[in-house]
């Protein structure tokens, strides 16, 4: 397996883990202030979409690291879900400060994924 390909897979997995932690931390803050878990995840549902998308990306990235080619497709689904998250936040009329990080991160994830696709796995 190409070292560049493996580094891209590790980098995407680390970013997905960081994004998952950020989403989980936000839910923990809301719950610690007295809200229920369902309110923290579903009001608005961006937290749930973020946690699902980053979980799928983590699974896909780990599969890629362990040399399973199906990981690329799972990673693609996770990135599509994360792109949907940024799009939904922007379309809902939320302040750009709230969704700009997701939009920029989505662009970075797409670039890294494109690198995975065009880099030989050998």
pLDDT in tens, 3-38: 888 899 999 999 999 999 998 998 888 899 888 888
Chain length of the chain: 122
So what's the pLDDT on residue 42?
A: 78
Residues 83-88 have a mean pLDDT of 90
So what's the pLDDT on residue 109?
A: 94
**Whole-prediction pTM:** 0.88
DSSP type of residue 18: H
* Burial class of residue 94 in the structure, from the number of CB atoms within 10 Å of its CB (0-12 exposed, 13-18 middle, 19+ buried): middle
Bond from prior residue into 44 cis (ω within 30 degrees of 0): yes
Residues 45-60 have a mean pLDDT of 92
Token pair of 59 as six digits: 């699974």
């Amino acid at each position: 397996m190409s070292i560049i390909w493996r580094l891209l897979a590790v980098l995407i997995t680390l970013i997905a883990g960081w994004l998952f932690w950020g989403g989980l931390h936000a839910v923990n803050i809301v719950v610690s202030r007295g809200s229920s878990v369902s309110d923290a995840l579903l009001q608005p549902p961006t937290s749930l979409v973020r946690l699902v998308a980053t979980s799928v990306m983590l699974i896909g990235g780990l599969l890629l690291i362990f040399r399973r080619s199906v990981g690329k497709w799972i990673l693609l689904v996770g990135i599509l879900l994360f792109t949907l998250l940024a799009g939904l936040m922007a379309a809902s009329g939320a302040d750009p400060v709230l969704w700009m990080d997701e939009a920029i991160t989505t662009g970075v994830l797409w670039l890294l994924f494109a690198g995975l696709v065009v880099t030989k796995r050998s």
